[in-house]
Each structure stands twice: as C-alpha cells, then as structure tokens.
Amino acid sequence: MTNPPEIASSGWHASWHPRALKIASPNFDERPTGTLVELIVIHAISLPPGHFGGGAVAQLFTNSLDFNAHPYFAEIQALRVSTHFFIQRGGQLVQFVSCNDRAWHAGVSCWKARERCNDFSIGIELEGDDDSNFEDAQYQTLNDLIADLRRAFPIVDVVGHCDIAPGRKTDPGPCFDWQRIAHD
C-alpha cells in the first residue's frame, strides 16, 4: 500500500495528524487494496450516554473500558469499535487509527450503492449526543480537520452516520448543525 501525499500546507502525512493526541486502538485492519478514501462519516458519542468528559470513550476504542464502572457499559461489553478521530467538547483532537488503515466505525453501512463504508471512509466522532448542542470549538476543529483531509484524499462527501446506516443510527443527531460545516 502506498503512502498518501504529504500535505504541504499543514505539514503532515495523511496517516497520523500532528495536532492530534495519538492513542492507538487495536481495532483496525487494512483497507482493501487500491481503495481510495472518498468519504468522511461524522458520528457522535458519549459514555455513558449523555455524559461528557472522562476517559470512557478512549477506553472503549482501546478495549480498556471497565465494564463494571457504569451499568450501561455491560451492554456494550462485546463491542470492538474504533474511529480515526475523536473531537472532545473543548475541541481537542484525538486520533485512534491511522488514516491509511480501516477503522471500525460505520458497521453495516451503504453510501451511493457502495456497501462497507469503513473500506473507503474516515470516521470522525464528536463528543455529543442527540440531545445536546455541539460546541463552537468542536465545529472549528472539525472544519480544520475536514480541510486537511480534503487536501490529502479525494473526499467526495461528508455525511452523518445516520446517512449511511438509516434506521439503525441517528448520529450525529438533530442538534448537529450541518450549516456550520465548510463545504469546500
């Protein structure tokens, strides 16, 4: 597999972002040979649901969550999931999987008649839920990240998890303001 081009304007190679805290997840594998990254999928997550802060999201993505720490955690004990990026409420950027690899964020999914969106997408989780507005700092970090990713990959679309898994997923949810996302 060849490395993506260097992003001259931000000085990074499209694998690990230099402005992101790197916390490597074991939950990834290789993309299918020759597959281009053409899609960004925006998600929302809070653990436990409706609670922000703490380290539970990072622990979930690194298989180190204490399933006895909250009753909800027992329900998700079998999950082995990850994402490329996580944007915390204050705008801090964390990266769990290299952009060259396939993170396990989309699950059963389809976009424009293409199934298995994990194969050709970058997953970005925002710390949030269906009932809370997202923070200005999150939109700023998200827009900066999308711009960097567009310089590195032939991104065609930016969509929500709800768009690629309708009826199964609702995130990033009704409180996510799509008008605040840069479209260039």
Buried b / exposed e over 84-103, threshold 16 CB at 10 Å, is: bbbbbbebebbbbbbbbebb
- Strand ranges in 20-100 using DSSP code E only, listed in sequence order: 21-22, 28-30, 39-45, 85-87, 93-95
pLDDT tier at 1, thresholds 50, 70, 90: very low
pLDDT in tens, 104-162: 999 999 999 999 999 999 999 999 999 999 999 999 999 999 999 999 999 999 999 99
pLDDT tier at 182, thresholds 50, 70, 90: confident
End-to-end C-alpha distance for the chain, whole angstroms = 28
pLDDT for 12 beyond 90: no
Q: Provide the percentage of residues in the chain whose pLDDT is more than 90.
A: 91
The CA distances from residue 182 to 23, 98, 145, 148, in Å, are: 27, 23, 11, 12
For 168, phi and psi rounded to 5 degrees? Answer: -105, -35
pLDDT in tens, 76-99: 999 999 999 999 999 999 999 999
For 171, phi and psi rounded to 5 degrees? Answer: -75, 150
Number of C-beta neighbours around residue 43 at 10 A: 22
Average the pLDDT over 13-41 and give the result: 95
Instruction: Quote the pLDDT of residue 9.
Output: 40
The H-assigned helical ranges of the chain are 56-61, 71-75, 136-152, 161-164
CATH class label, 6-10+22-180: alpha beta
Beta partners for residue 123, in sequence order: 41
Per DSSP, the residues of 90-117 read T--EEE-S-TTEEES-S-S-EETTEE-G
Structure tokens belonging to residue 165: 């898994």
Catalytic residue among 6, 125, 127, 135: 125
pLDDT tier at 184, thresholds 50, 70, 90: low
Residue 115 annotated as catalytic: no
